């Protein structure tokens, strides 16, 4: 049934439907609404789950390491500095092969305290061995969260579902909330591949010497590769039941496009609006929405962008000394092509600054009017600043 | 069943079914930890050898009865000692260098008072009855102590006391405001309940002593020093100079001698202070005249301070020279003294300051410069042939080999209540050893019961109690891991106000609550005593510490102990010893 | 697509008003999107929230800078805030006030509707005298002014989403629906 839900609420509904057994969380704006609702569900018995309040995000994820190792399905949500504080345990979870699902609400990192959206928090965790999926609207948030449990439990790697602060987390819109029975068909109750058991004792996460460490990491690499194909299968199953699919990437009018805008998160929606206008004017423009960031969908990216002349990657994030993270990854992906489009890297909307259709159009026109990018990263909408004496 | 997770690729992940049990890390060990209780400095300093670390541990846990019984194994008079012992234990407390020493005497008194209030009966070990009977002359602390320990060792004891009530100096020499009679009666009642008979009003003469020696297997002489020594100055008469101890005795017997006007008290010991403070309570004025300085006085510093608060005057460096009667009053001529160099005991050596004198006119003069036996034959004979001389007693044998033991003030170098208790204990041990193993065994047997390296003896060790395993190593401050302790202020002894004190003989020190006692006892480092804090268990990286149901069960699994020494390092109280592994 | 901006004070339920209206409009067949101004909430401080409605899926994921209409929950906000900022000409301004503002010129080339939502809220015992909860009354006035959503959808939205005393809130919405006063289009002629 379609209901008007907040993005945070869509996450909570998915977690309820997923029959999660242990939730641990430490509150941080803009993640708070998610865990408020879940803790309420746990308290009122709407979810048969244990909610563990903790004193920090580090402890939060550590608690889930224990719970998931004991053999239950777990969930947490965090944001920004909270995710940064989890960093050590992020590595632990993936190497311990624990299929934990987490939602990260993208929020800028401080100081320069800022509670608004910015992808640097999640993207700077790209090497931790977590699968990362970025969402565009409330419906996708709900669907992706459900799929995340299937994906995680299939390859035994953790999944991070990512959504923009406020533009998605705090926005109400109609979302189709599936019936529990239907969800159960897609996502049965958790059956762990290993769990702590006093009748069959073993050591988890022992010392791994150089003799085996590489093999262990290689197995994680294989699992990450497998996640790419599994995700497509899981999406097919989901579409068969619920008639919605998103793809690891979504290419919109890319086939004949000379210029393709590459986006992620809620900027994608606004870009769709612009795309309609530009196409109506006869511009040969396309849009590539990046949903999956880890594993990075190299093949799909090359397929979508290979024929274009120019690609404009819009990054709501920045890696200092390198550039926008999506731009870097897109460039690396395209390298294998014999003939490659020119990639323009744009930085926009950091710290929650609005990315309007006007800004997107400015990016498009800049790309169209220049042969080669003037800089590695082109910052859009910068104001003049006055430096203090 | 669970279709989505079927046909999964196997995982190669950090997980092993192999246990670490096969890795016997014990083979790496070159240092070996051992649970070894050690001796706390307080116990060594306590003349009665009380197991203070254990007493405080039990008190902190609220086991007041058990703590009290632990005292009684070494000292039959905790209610007395909690009040009047000058607590040398606190002077050596390892906590002193951390914040401040533990108020050991305050807890001791609390335990005794709690036992008295609840009419507790101690459950103490007692050896099988012996055929020998013991006679004890004098019911002061030495006699009471001897009877207590002789009884523990299985001997029947009779005490002969000259005065109307038992207690000796405790009953007749120490003022009520420091040691109320009901406290003493409770203690003596408990001693009697062990089967000891006390015959009061039964003065023993020298000829009667010989008769007793026929009826008993041993006689213990604990007659004490009950007479003040004379000043030895011109003009000294029984009229002009009163015996300080006699004065205190008369007051405790219920008399209220007139103390109007100014009384001079000659001396610097506790008796002098007691006399002066008693004079104040009887409405008089008192001046202590001392030939040395205040810091040289043998009296307890706190007693001196309280005396001065109560209005006692103190005049230093004045020695009595002569006394002249002036009507009803006396003129006391005093020689002025000065300090020149140092005596052997570290106090300033005094010499007359030329011919300088001063005078004071007083209503009466008390002497409290020292004490002596009431009858000369109480003293041990100067002929030591065939006698055994121990630190706290002397044993003389008659022709039949019947021992006569001199103890308490008669033989002690330092004469105070707790030393007297030590004397009674030593006598009981020595005589028991003599009866059981013969005279030659005495020295080594007593040496094996020493607490640490001092003169104190432990009856619990003598009786082969659990604490015999405690080593004689005295725990030093640097051996305490103070990371595990927090600064905490020492309990403040609640006292009567000065105005309340001077108007009556009510006890000055008030009781403390059980809560405060527990908090104070919790400050104890429990030097050298495992109190099952489990630090070794928590820190052992090889899970080689095996806990048991009690302290004795705790042990180390040497298959896995690799000798890293963390248990010893993290033991807050040095109850783990690390030794080199043998071949 | 229609975009509406809501002005209120922290604690007055302004964000809840926009979400309740989103629920009502969704029931009436609209695609909706509502969200607060993304800031730090403090009681009494001016707050803003937004509502978009359209007949097709709403793609815009940006702040609302040029609203079609404006709703003002507290008349005292007129003293400190330019509620007409970016307002498209001819747009509605729905104002909660007890008496019509004396100076209508500040509303420019816009239509104004007023309702005494505070009185209505207190009559139905919603909130306290110092802070009446006016948002459900404002819903009724909004429905009348916009001629959508139908009152049945407003009532259904209140009954589903308001946790405490929904019937009093329904009554307040209905009373405000009846009482709202349309002051009409204030033209530049009227200003003179």
Calculate what percentage of chain B has a pLDDT beyond 70. Answer: 98
Q: How many CB pairs under 8 A join A and C?
A: 64
Write out the two tokens for C125: 């015992």
Q: Is residue A227 a contact partner of residue A99, using CB atoms and an 8 Å limit?
A: no
Pair (A212, A279) in one structural domain: no
Same domain, yes or no: A107 and A56: yes
Does residue A260 share a domain with residue A230?
no
**Considering only CB atoms, which chain B residues are within 8 Å of A187?**
4
Could you tell me if A121 and A233 lie in one domain?
A: yes
Sign of CA dihedral B479, B484, B487, B489: negative
DSSP label at residue A324: -
A87 shares its domain with A184 = yes
C61 in A contact zone (CB under 8 Å): yes
Residue owning tokens 């999956």: A292
User: Domain range holding A321?
Assistant: 249-379
Q: Do chains A and B touch (3 or more CB pairs under 8 A)?
A: yes
Is residue C107 scored above 90 in pLDDT?
Answer: no
pLDDT of residue C185: 60
Do A228 and A293 belong to one domain?
Answer: no
pLDDT at A265: 98
Query: In B251-347, where do the E strands start and end?
Result: 262-266, 285-289, 313-315, 318-326, 329-342
Q: What is the CATH number of domain C2-191?
A: 3.40.920.10
Per-residue pLDDT for C186 more than 70? no
Is the Cβ of A166 closer than 8 Å to some Cβ of chain C? yes
Closest CA to C172 of C126, C131, C129: C126
User: Which CATH number does the domain housing residue A234 bear?
Assistant: 3.40.50.970
Residues A67-76: tens digit of each pLDDT: 999 999 999 9
Task: Give the one of A4, A115, A269 whose C-beta lies nearest to C59's C-beta.
Answer: A269
Q: Which of B11, B14, B16 sits opposite A156 (nearest CB)?
A: B11
**Matching residue, tokens 């929230």:** C49
Whether the Cβ atoms of residue B333 and residue B322 lie closer than 8 Å to each other? yes
Separation of alpha carbons B573 and B41, rounded Å? 12
Chain B touches chain C, with at least 3 Cβ pairs below 8 Å, answer: no
C59/A273 CB distance under 8 A = yes
**The token pair that represents B369 in the structure block:** 């410069």
- Highest average pLDDT, of B211-215, B272-276, C130-134, comes from B272-276
Q: Tokens for A312, please give them.
A: 């404009």
Contacting residues of B for A206, CB less than 8 Å apart: 14-16
Q: How confident is the model at residue B3 (pLDDT cuts 50, 70, 90)?
A: very low
pLDDT (0 to 100) of residue C42: 75
A141, A205, A222: which is closest to A174 by C-alpha? A141
Residue the block writes with tokens 């104001």:
A383
Whether residue C38 and residue A173 make contact (CB cut-off 8 A), yes or no, is: no
Question: What is the residue whose two structure tokens read 């229609």?
Answer: C2
Domain B20-37+530-580 falls under CATH 3.30.70.20: yes
Position B171 confidence tier, pLDDT thresholds 50, 70, 90: very high
Q: Which candidate, A346, A370, A165, places its Cα nearest to that of A271?
A: A346
Cβ separation B8–A193 shorter than 8 A: yes
Helices first, then strands: H and E counts in chain A: 13, 16
pLDDT at B20: 77
Nearest chain B CA: its distance from A201 CA (Å): 7
C59 touches chain A (CB under 8 A): yes
- String of b and e for A316-332 (b: at least 16 CB within 10 Å)? bbbbeeebbbbbbbbbe
pLDDT of residue C190: 46
Contacts of A193 in chain B (CB under 8 A): 5, 8, 11
CA distance B205 to B328: 38
Q: Kindly calculate the radius of gyration of chain C based on its CA atoms and give it in whole angstroms.
A: 15
Positive/negative CA dihedral, B114, B118, B122, B123: negative
- The closest of C168, C175, C146, C155 to C71, measured between CA atoms, is C146
Upper half-sphere CA count for residue B346 (Cβ side, 13 Å): 4
H-helix segments, chain A: 7-17, 32-44, 57-69, 80-85, 87-95, 120-123, 138-155, 180-186, 210-242, 267-280, 298-305, 325-334, 357-369
pLDDT at B164: 94
Residue of C nearest to A275 (CA): C59
Closest-approach residue (CA) in chain A for C60: A270
Q: For A349-353, B35-39, B209-213, which range has the lowest pLDDT when averaged over its residues?
A: B209-213
Q: Which long-range contacts (CB under 8 A, 24 or more apart) does A273-281 make?
A: A273/A357, A273/C59, A273/C60, A274/A357, A274/A360, A274/A361, A274/A364, A277/A357, A278/A361, A278/A364, A279/A253
Task: With respect to residue A387, please indicate whether it lies within any of the assigned structural domains.
Answer: no
- Considering only CB atoms, A273 lies closest to which of C32, C33, C60, namely C60
**B477 burial level (CB within 10 Å; 0-12, 13-18, 19+):** middle
Check B5 against A193: CB less than 8 A apart: yes
3-state DSSP of B360-415? EEECEEEECCCEECCCHHHCCCCCCCCCEECCCEEEEECCCCCEEEEEHHHCCCCC
From residue A23, alpha-carbon distances to A36, A63, A166 in Å are 12, 9, 23
Let me know: does B391 contact B246? Beta carbons within 8 Å.
no
Q: How many domains does chain A have?
A: 2
Are residues A137 and A65 both part of a single domain?
A: yes
B14: closest CA of chain A, how far (Å):
5
Rg (CA), chain A: 21
Is there a single domain that holds both residue A92 and residue A48? yes
A143 shares a domain with A69: yes
Tell me the C-alpha to C-alpha distance, in Å, between residue A308 and each of A184, A326, C6. Answer: 42, 17, 43
A223 and A285 within one domain: no
| Same-domain pairing of A287 and A181 | no
Contact map slice: A 330-359 vs C, CB within 8 A? 352, 354-357
How many whole angstroms separate alpha carbon B405 and alpha carbon B426? 10
Are C59 and A170 inside 8 Å of each other by CB?
Answer: no
pTM above 0.90, yes or no: no
Name the minimum distance, in Å, from the CA of B22 to any CA of chain A.
14
Residue C40 is predicted with a pLDDT of 66
CB contact under 8 A, B19 and A201: yes
Cα distance between residue A191 and residue A21, in whole Å: 12
- Residues paired with residue B198 on neighbouring β-strands, in sequence order: B159
Residue B394 C-beta-side C-alpha neighbours within 13 Å:
18
Chain A contact for C80 (CB, 8 A cutoff): no
Mean pLDDT of all residues in B145-173: 96
Q: Under DSSP, is residue C113 helix (H, G, I), strand (E, B) or coil?
A: strand
DSSP-derived 3-state class of residue B206: helix
Q: How does pLDDT run across C169-180, given as a tens digit for each residue?
A: 999 999 999 999
Position of tokens 């001791």?
Answer: B108
pLDDT digits (tens, 9 = 90+) for A302-334: 999 999 999 999 999 999 999 999 999 999 999
Which of B8, B10, B11, B20 should we substitute to test contact with A (largest number of A Cβ atoms within 10 Å)? B11
Other C-beta atoms within 10 Å of B423: how many? Answer: 32
Q: Phi/psi at B65 (nearest 5 deg)?
A: -65, -45
- Asked if B11's CB is within 8 angstroms of A193's CB, the reply is yes
Phi-psi region of B484 (alpha: psi -120 to 50; beta: other; left: phi over 0): alpha
Q: Where are the domains of chain B?
A: 20-37+530-580, 133-177+192-226+373-469, 230-368
Rounded to whole angstroms, the Cα distance separating B34 from B578 reads 6
Q: What burial class does residue B324 get, using C-beta atoms within 10 Å of its C-beta: 0-12 exposed, 13-18 middle, 19+ buried?
A: middle
Across all residues in chain B, what is the average pLDDT?
93
Distance from CA of B433 to the nearest CA of A (A): 59
Say if A385 falls within a structural domain: no
pLDDT one-digit tens code per residue, A338-386: 999 999 999 999 999 999 999 999 999 999 999 999 999 999 999 999 9
Looking at A226, A242, A258, which one is the last position of a domain? Answer: A242
- Residue B94 is given by DSSP the state T
The residues in C 13-32 lying below 8 A from A, measured between CB atoms, are: 18-19, 22-23, 26, 31-32
Determine which helix (DSSP H) or strand (DSSP E) holds A342, and give its type and residue range.
strand A342-347
CATH code for the domain of A296: 3.40.50.920
Subunits next to A (3 or more Cβ pairs <8 Å) are: B, C
CB contact under 8 A, A172 and C62: no
Domain B230-368 fold is: FAD/NAD(P)-binding domain (3.50.50)
Peptide bond into A80 cis (omega under 30): no
Chain C nearest CA to A268, separation (Å) = 9
CA distance A184 to chain B (A): 11
Contact B107, B70 (CB under 8 A): no
Neighbours of B401 (CB within 10 A): 9
Q: Is residue A389 part of a domain?
A: no
Question: Residue C100 pLDDT more than 90?
Answer: no
Q: How far apart are CA A112 and CA A123, in angstroms?
A: 19
pLDDT of C17 strictly over 80? yes
Domain ranges of chain C: 2-191
* pLDDT tens string C20-33: 999 999 999 999 99
Neighbours of chain C (3+ CB pairs under 8 A): A
Task: Compute the CA torsion angle A158, A163, A164, A168 (nearest 10 deg).
Answer: -160
CB of A4 less than 8 A from some CB of C: yes
Contact C36 A167 (CB under 8 A): no
CB–CB contact A171 C38 (8 Å): no
Domains B133-177+192-226+373-469 and B230-368 share a fold: yes
- Half-sphere exposure (Cβ direction) of A240: Cα atoms closer than 13 Å: 8
Mean pLDDT value of segment A1-18: 97
* Long-range interactions of A373-377: CB distance < 8 A, separation 24+: A373/A342, A373/A343, A373/A344, A373/A345, A376/A323, A376/A345, A377/A315, A377/A318, A377/A323, A377/A324, A377/A327, A377/A345, A377/A346, A377/A347
Sheet holding C92-96, edge to edge: A2-6, A172-176, C31-36, C46-54, C2-9, C69-72, C92-96, C111-115, C181-185
The span from the CA of B389 to the CA of A153, in Å, is 86
Which of A91, A93, A192, A193 has the most B C-beta neighbours within 10 Å, making it the best mutation to test the interface with B? Answer: A193
pLDDT per residue over C133-154, tens digit each? 999 999 999 999 999 999 999 9
What pairing do the DSSP bridges indicate for beta strands B364-367 and B348-362?
A: unpaired
Q: Is A327 inside any structural domain?
A: yes
Mean residue pLDDT across chain A? 97
Evaluate if residue B400 carries a pLDDT over 90.
Answer: no
First to last CA, chain A: 59
Provide the number of CB pairs (under 8 Å) joining chain A to chain B: 57
Average pLDDT score over chain C: 90
Give the integer Cα–Cα distance in Å for B56 and B518: 9
Confidence of residue B237 (pLDDT cuts 50, 70, 90): confident
Say whether C38 and A170 touch across the interface (CB within 8 A): yes
CATH (residue range B133-177+192-226+373-469): 3.50.50.60
> Does C34 contact A at CB distance below 8 Å?
yes
Q: Residue C64: pLDDT above 70?
A: yes
Confidence of residue A40 (pLDDT cuts 50, 70, 90): very high
């Amino acid at each position: 049934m379609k209901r008007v839900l907040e993005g945070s609420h869509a996450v909570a509904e998915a977690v309820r439907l997923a029959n999660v057994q242990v939730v641990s969380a430490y509150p941080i704006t803009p993640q708070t609404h998610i865990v408020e609702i879940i803790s309420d569900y746990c308290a009122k018995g709407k979810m048969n789950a244990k909610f563990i309040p903790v004193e920090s995000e580090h402890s939060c994820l550590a608690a889930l390491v224990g719970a998931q190792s004991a053999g239950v399905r777990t969930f947490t949500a965090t944001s920004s500095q909270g995710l940064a504080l989890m960093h050590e345990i992020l590595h632990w979870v993936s190497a311990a092969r624990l299929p934990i699902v987490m939602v990260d609400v993208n929020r800028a990192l401080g100081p320069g305290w800022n509670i608004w959206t910015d992808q640097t928090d999640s993207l700077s965790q790209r090497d931790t061995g977590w699968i990362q999926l970025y969402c565009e609207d409330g419906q996708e948030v709900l669907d992706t969260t459900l799929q995340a449990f299937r994906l995680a439990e299939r390859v035994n790697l953790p999944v991070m579902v990512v959504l923009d602060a406020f533009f998605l987390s705090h926005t109400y819109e109609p979302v189709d909330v599936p019936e529990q029975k239907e969800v159960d068909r897609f996502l049965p109750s958790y059956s762990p591949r290993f769990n702590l058991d006093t009748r069959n004792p073993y050591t988890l996460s022992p010392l791994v010497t150089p003799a085996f460490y590489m093999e262990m990491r290689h197995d994680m690499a294989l699992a990450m590769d497998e996640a790419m194909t599994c995700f497509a299968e899981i999406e097919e199953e989901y579409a068969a039941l619920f008639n919605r699919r998103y793809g690891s990437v979504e290419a919109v009018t890319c086939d004949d496009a000379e210029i393709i805008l590459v986006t992620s998160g809620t900027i994608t929606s606004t870009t769709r609006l612009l795309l309609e206008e530009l196409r109506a004017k006869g511009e040969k423009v396309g849009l590539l929405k990046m949903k999956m960031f880890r594993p990075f969908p190299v093949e799909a990216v090359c397929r979508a962008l290979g024929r274009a002349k120019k690609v404009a990657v819009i990054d709501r994030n920045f890696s200092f000394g390198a550039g926008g993270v999506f731009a870097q990854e897109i460039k690396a992906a395209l390298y294998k092509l014999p003939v490659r489009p020119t990639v323009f890297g744009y930085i926009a909307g950091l710290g929650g600054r609005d990315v309007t259709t006007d800004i997107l159009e400015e990016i498009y026109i800049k790309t169209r009017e220049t042969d080669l990018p003037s800089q590695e990263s082109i910052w859009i909408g910068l104001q003049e600043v006055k430096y203090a004496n | 069943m669970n279709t989505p997770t079927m046909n999964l690729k196997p995982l190669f992940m950090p997980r092993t079914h192999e246990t670490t049990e096969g890795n016997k890390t014990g083979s790496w060990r070159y240092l070996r930890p051992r649970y070894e209780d050690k001796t706390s400095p307080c116990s060594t300093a306590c003349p009665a050898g009380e197991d203070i670390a254990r007493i405080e541990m039990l008190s902190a846990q609220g086991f007041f009865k058990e703590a009290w019984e632990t005292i009684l194994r070494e000292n039959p008079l905790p209610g007395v000692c909690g009040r009047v012992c000058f607590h040398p234990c606190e002077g050596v407390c390892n906590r002193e260098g951390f914040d401040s020493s533990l108020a050991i005497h305050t807890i001791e008194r609390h335990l005794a008072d709690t036992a008295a209030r609840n009419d507790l009966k101690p459950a103490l070990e007692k050896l099988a009855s012996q055929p020998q009977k013991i006679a004890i002359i004098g019911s002061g602390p030495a006699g009471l102590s001897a009877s207590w320990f002789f009884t523990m060792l299985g001997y029947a004891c009779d005490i002969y006391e000259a005065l109307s009530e038992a207690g000796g100096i405790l009953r007749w020499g120490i003022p009520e405001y420091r040691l109320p009679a009901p406290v003493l009666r409770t203690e003596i009642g408990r001693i009697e309940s062990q089967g000891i008979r006390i015959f009061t009003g039964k003065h023993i003469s020298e000829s009667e002593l010989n008769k007793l020696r026929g009826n008993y297997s041993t006689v213990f002489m604990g007659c004490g020093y009950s007479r003040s020594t004379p000043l030895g100055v011109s003009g000294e008469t029984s009229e002009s100079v009163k015996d300080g101890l006699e004065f205190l005795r008369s007051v405790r017997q219920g008399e209220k001698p007139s103390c109007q006007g100014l009384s001079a008290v000659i001396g610097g010991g506790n008796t002098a202070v007691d006399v002066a403070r008693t004079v104040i309570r009887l409405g008089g004025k008192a001046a202590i005249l001392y030939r040395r300085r205040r810091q040289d006085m043998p009296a307890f510093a706190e007693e001196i301070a309280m005396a001065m608060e109560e209005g006692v005057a103190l005049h230093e460096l004045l020695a009595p020279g002569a006394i002249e009667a002036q009507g009803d009053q006396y003129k006391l001529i005093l020689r002025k003294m000065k300090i020149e160099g140092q005596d052997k005991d570290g106090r300033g050596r005094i010499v007359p300051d030329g011919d300088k004198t001063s005078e004071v006119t007083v209503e009466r003069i008390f002497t409290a410069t020292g004490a002596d036996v009431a009858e000369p034959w109480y003293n041990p004979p100067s002929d030591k042939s065939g006698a055994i001389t121990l630190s706290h007693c002397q044993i003389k044998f008659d022709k039949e080999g019947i021992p006569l033991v001199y103890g308490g003030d008669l033989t002690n170098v330092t004469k105070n209540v707790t030393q007297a208790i030590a004397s009674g204990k030593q006598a009981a041990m020595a005589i028991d050893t003599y009866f059981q193993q013969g005279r030659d065994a005495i020295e080594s047997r007593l040496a094996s019961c020493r607490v640490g390296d001092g003169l104190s003896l432990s009856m619990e060790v003598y009786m082969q109690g659990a604490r015999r395993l405690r080593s004689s190593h005295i725990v030093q401050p640097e051996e305490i891991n103070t990371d595990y302790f927090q600064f905490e202020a020492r309990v403040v002894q609640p006292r009567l106000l000065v105005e309340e004190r001077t108007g009556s003989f009510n006890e000055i020190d008030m009781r403390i609550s059980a809560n405060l006692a527990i908090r104070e006892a919790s400050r104890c480092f429990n030097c050298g005593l495992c109190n099952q804090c489990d630090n070794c268990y928590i820190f052992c990286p090889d899970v080689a510490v095996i806990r048991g149901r009690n302290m004795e069960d705790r042990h180390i699994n040497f298959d896995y102990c690799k000798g890293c020494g963390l248990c010893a390092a993290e033991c807050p109280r040095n109850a783990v010893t690390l030794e080199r592994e043998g071949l | 697509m229609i975009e509406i901006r809501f002005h209120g004070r922290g604690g007055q339920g302004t964000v809840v008003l926009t979400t309740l209206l989103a629920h009502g409009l969704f029931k009436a067949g609209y695609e909706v999107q509502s969200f607060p101004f993304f800031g730090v909430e403090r009681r009494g401080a001016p707050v803003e929230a937004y509502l978009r409605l359209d007949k097709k899926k709403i793609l815009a994921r940006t702040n609302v800078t040029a609203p079609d209409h404006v709703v003002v929950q507290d008349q005292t906000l007129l003293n400190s805030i330019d509620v007409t900022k970016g307002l498209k000409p001819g747009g509605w301004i729905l104002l909660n006030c007890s008496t019509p503002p004396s100076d209508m010129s500040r509303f420019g080339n816009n239509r104004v509707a007023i309702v005494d939502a505070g009185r209505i809220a207190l009559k139905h015992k919603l909130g306290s005298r110092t802070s009446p909860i006016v948002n459900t009354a404002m819903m009724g006035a909004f429905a009348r002014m916009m001629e959508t959503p139908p009152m049945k959808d407003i009532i259904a939205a209140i009954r589903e989403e308001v946790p405490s005393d929904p019937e009093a809130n329904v009554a307040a919405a209905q009373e405000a629906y009846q009482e709202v006063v349309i002051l009409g289009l204030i033209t530049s002629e009227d200003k003179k």
